[in-house]
Amino acid sequence: MSEIKILNNDTYADSVASGVVVVDFYADWCGPCKMMAPVFAEVASEYDGKVTFAKINIDENRDIAMANQVMSIPTLIFLNDGEVKDRVTGAVDKGTLKSRVDALL
């Protein structure tokens, strides 16, 4: 099973600098974020070794959330070599998440 990295203000830039990375901006109190978590984990395991999946808690890391213009959660940001290629706000189903990841590969 793939490991989902937990990022913070200090580790974010280095973690997204290379390769395909999907970052889930979330908060512990957010209902849709809780619904998204198992879907995110399942897709992460399917792309193990190909794509890095990471989460960042917006309550603990406001600077990164603001820098990425995260206004609502959950927000998923899809990066390739540090450049934002796609983003989606709100909980999405497995098929939608996989199709957005596949578009980066």
Instruction: In whole angstroms, give the CA distance from residue 72 to residue 50.
Output: 28
Residue 78 among the catalytic residues: no
Residue 30 among the catalytic residues: yes
The reply to whether the predicted model has a pTM over 0.75 is yes
Which listed residue (7, 22, 33, 43) is catalytic? 33
- The sheet with strand 5-7 has its strands ordered as 5-7, 52-57, 20-26, 75-80, 83-89
In this predicted model, what pLDDT tens digit does every residue of 9-36 receive, in sequence order? 999 999 999 999 999 999 999 999 999 9
Which listed residue (30, 65, 70, 97) is catalytic? 30
Q: Confirm or reject CATH 3.40.30.10 for domain 5-102, answering yes or no.
A: yes
Instruction: In whole angstroms, give the CA distance from residue 83 to residue 20.
Output: 9
